[in-house]
Amino acid sequence: MKSIKVGLLGIGTVGSGTFNVLKRNQQEIAARAGRGIEITMVADLNVERARELTNGEVEVVSDANLVINNPDIDIVIELIGGYGIAKDLVLKAIANGKHVVTANKALIATHGNEIFKAAQEKGVIVAFEAAVAGGIPIIKALREGLTANRIEWIAGIINGTTNFILSEMRDKGLDFDVVLKEAQRLGYAEADPTFDIEGVDAAHKLTIMAAIAFGIPVQFAKAHVEGITSLQATDIRYAEQLGYRIKLLGIAKRTAAGVELRVHPTLVPASRLIANVEGAMNAVLVRGDAVGETLYYGKGAGSEPTASAVIADLVDITRLATADPEHRVPHLAFQPDAMTDIQILPMSEITTSYYLRMRVTDETGVLADVTRILADSLISISAMLQKEPAEGETRTDIIMLTHQTQEKNVEAAIAKIEALATVVGAVTKIRLEELN
């Protein structure tokens, strides 16, 4: 049977990994796909480097349009990244009747609805397993493996850079800025790490998973996004003393009032498996009504781990290319006419537990004032640490863990606590999830 011809847009870290793995495992991949899959054309602005990476075995061009307009190309792999040119090229490829594989989480999270609509109208497939959690097959698990379930919630460590930083802060007691520089030196963090450390990358991935889990459109703009830049080593240490670890989690939760869609630092019980995911690894915990909790763990980035997901998509498309489009697995798991636009809840309406740390003067009545304010705001305390002042100090820390309450209650209480004459500076607030 004739091989599937693939055009590759961008041969950087993931692109070169895809080319190498596809070539190295070509016989096994063909045996699984039912026919050969070969990259025959590559577009990259650095033509000379692209020729070196492909050993001169394929046609290399600098203009991506030559790939997507080539009638011999069946599938286009988009590994350029970003929202601009990548979106235009993907839509042109779809218009030309070509299937698309992409690792571009930002593109899918922001323009996925438009892209999937165009693909449906043209009868082609847009596959994006590599856009979330690198080599972990979480998209396939949510879209196919858990299809019998009503997904209740997802909680994921889905950014390796921030997980590495938090692991180092906990292990070595170092501050954020120090560990970030080390992460950049080791290549875990980009020269401009903003998307990672501010939670944007994780929010892109969470947006995609939530759409598949709950049958809602992708709507990144409605996600709450909070990074780790203001996190202090002090709070990581106190959390440890209370039996918790702090992770940057992406959380999507179905509630009676709507869907929670949020990324932020989160206290997780140290006994949970996901709390023990260290370094640059990723993990996603999914709760389904029938299956219960399932955990997916592995490398969330890197050349060949991500290439593994790209090639899995190539194989899926190869198997399904001749199938009736009406009988393929829908892009977002639910049939397009069955998607529902459930409300994404504002943060003020979400319900969770909280870690609160406040710096107070060491005098009688401070704790009573704080607990009264919390009680008046319908917030109950589940645990507390009150540190003895260091010798010669007149101030100390009080740390409280609350039971579940609405965010707006906590914000109102914090405003009143900060207004107390005995409270110094701002109250530190970190959300807490038991994940049970």
Catalytic residues: 205
Is 13 annotated in a binding site? The answer is yes
Tell me how crowded residue 187 is: count the other CB atoms within 10 A of its CB: 8
If residue 43 lies in a helix (H) or strand (E), which one and from where to where?
A: strand 37-43
Among 71, 97, 96, 67, smallest CA distance to 80 is for: 67
Contact yes or no for 343/259 (Cβ under 8 A): yes
If residue 201 lies in a helix (H) or strand (E), which one and from where to where?
A: helix 200-214
Contact yes or no for 343/257 (Cβ under 8 A): yes
Contact yes or no for 103/128 (Cβ under 8 A): yes
Is 10 annotated in a binding site? The answer is yes
Is 190 annotated in a binding site? The answer is yes
- Give the type of residue at 404: Q
Is 11 annotated in a binding site? The answer is yes
Among 219, 222, 268, smallest CA distance to 243 is for: 268
**Torsion sign, CA atoms 64, 65, 66, 67:** positive
Is 16 annotated in a binding site? The answer is yes
Spatial CB neighbours of 282, under 8 Å, sequence gap ≥ 6: 133, 134, 136, 156, 157, 158, 159, 160, 163, 297, 298, 299, 300, 301
DSSP state of 46: -
Cα 69 to Cα 344: distance, rounded to the nearest angstrom: 39
Residue carrying structure tokens 């370094």: 279
Is 105 annotated in a binding site? The answer is yes
> Around 387, how many Cα atoms within 13 Å sit in the side-chain half-sphere?
21
Give the pair of three-digit tokens for residue 141: 């698990």
Q: What are the binding residues for NADP(+)? A: 9-16
Q: What are the binding residues? A: 9-16, 105, 190
Q: What are the binding residues for NADPH? A: 105
